[in-house]
């Protein structure tokens, strides 16, 4: 079955991020345990959100990089391909999904406009789940624009 995408209007305005959604995503992502080599749950969270926004399954893939490294893991790199709107060189945006072991058990909370760990014994895990959340937010906005 061939997937079709909506063609954006000629004078389309740029995708505007949903900042409330972005904040929810970063908090949810920081709460998922994912130390190096065990970021499969994070990858699945991201892929599930992309599919729910209308991304075709063929646009989302995981490679086998985790099978070619000294530290074997449960998932490779998650790759999401968006169609271009003009002929131009490709662009790559990336973030890593793992965190340091101190972040396992993180319970991020929003207090007075700041996100912090509810448990002082755990780190927040914002490196680089915040980057992953930024890319996911941008991908969701683009996906809704092109595929929904």
Which helix (H) or strand (E) is 142 found in, with range?
A: helix 126-146
Confidence (pLDDT) at 72: 81
Percent of the chain past pLDDT 70, that is, above it, reads 89
Answer yes or no: are the C-beta atoms of 103 and 35 closer than 8 Å: yes
Buried b (16+ CB within 10 A) or exposed e, 16-46: eeeeeebeebbbebbbbebeeeebbebbebb
**Least confidently predicted of 5-9, 42-46, 55-59, 132-136:** 5-9
Instruction: Record the tokens describing residue 71, joined without a space.
Output: 């530290």
Considering the segment(s) 19-80+93-146 as one domain, its CATH architecture is 3-Layer(aba) Sandwich (3.40)
Kindly calculate the radius of gyration of the chain based on its CA atoms and give it in whole angstroms.
Answer: 17
Provide mean pLDDT across the span 80-101.
Answer: 92
Percent of the chain past pLDDT 90, that is, above it, reads 73
Instruction: Record the tokens describing residue 102, joined without a space.
Output: 């101190």
Confidence (pLDDT) at 8: 47
pLDDT band at 110 (very low <50, low <70, confident <90, very high): very high
Answer yes or no: are the C-beta atoms of 139 and 50 closer than 8 Å: yes
**Least confidently predicted of 1-15, 89-103, 130-144:** 1-15
pTM of the entire predicted model: 0.87
Q: Is the pLDDT of residue 15 over 50?
A: yes
Give the three-state DSSP class for 121: coil
How far apart, in whole angstroms, are the C-alpha atoms of residue 10 and residue 61? 30
Kindly report, residue by residue over 38-64, the tens digit of the pLDDT. Answer: 999 999 999 999 999 999 989 999 999
pLDDT band at 1 (very low <50, low <70, confident <90, very high): very low
What is the domain partition of the chain in residue ranges? 19-80+93-146
Confidence (pLDDT) at 103: 95
């Amino acid at each position: 079955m061939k997937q079709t995408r909506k063609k954006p209007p000629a004078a389309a305005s740029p995708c505007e991020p949903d900042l409330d959604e972005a904040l929810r995503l970063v908090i949810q992502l920081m709460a998922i345990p994912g130390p190096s080599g065990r970021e499969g749950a994070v990858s699945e969270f991201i892929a599930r959100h992309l599919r729910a926004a209308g991304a075709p399954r063929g646009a989302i893939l995981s490679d086998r990089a985790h099978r070619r490294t000294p530290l074997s893991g449960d998932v490779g790199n998650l790759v999401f391909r968006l169609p271009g709107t003009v002929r131009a060189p490709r662009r790559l945006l990336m973030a890593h999904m793992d965190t340091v072991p101190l972040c396992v058990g993180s319970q991020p909370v929003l207090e007075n406009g700041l996100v912090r760990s509810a448990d002082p014994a755990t780190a927040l895990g914002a490196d680089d789940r915040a980057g992953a959340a930024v890319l996911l937010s941008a991908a969701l906005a683009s996906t809704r624009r092109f595929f929904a």
